[in-house]
Amino acid sequence: AQKVTQAQTEISVVEKEDVTLDCVYETRDTTYYLFWYKQPPSGELVFLIRRNSFDEQNEISGRYSWNFQKSTSSFNFTITASQVVDSAVYFCALSTGGNNRKLIWGLGTSLAVNP
């Protein structure tokens, strides 16, 4: 069975703190894709990043970084020097690609960055 677990339901930090959002996945497939989405208070779902199972290289985009570790089946997301605008619900998702287009979603982590 495929599953995505985001154990942190809510996180609250003070601006400029670093924060890591955890994502643990389960799949028996050798080819799969992992995603992070952001849902700000305005409600839209914004695609942040996609990672495939053959590429364990970490990714950095500005203040955002992602740590993919197959050994622990984790795909964690770190925001460095958090800002109030980072306040949102963040979702991790899994897909095995191919003909199956479905994403398996985590329940999301609500991040509040306080001034």
**DSSP label of 41:** T
Q: Which residues are CB-contacts of 13 (< 8 A; sequence separation ≥ 6)?
A: 19, 82, 111, 112, 113, 114
Determine, following the binding rule CB under 8 A, whether residue 107 of this chain makes contact with other proteins. yes
Residue nearer to other proteins on the CB measure, 2 or 80: 2
Window 6-35: contact mask with other proteins (x via CB under 8 A): ---------------------------x-x
In whole angstroms, the minimum distance from the beta carbon of 56 to other proteins comes to 16
Element (H, E) at 75: strand 74-79
Length of the chain: 115
Determine, following the binding rule CB under 8 A, whether residue 95 of this chain makes contact with other proteins. yes
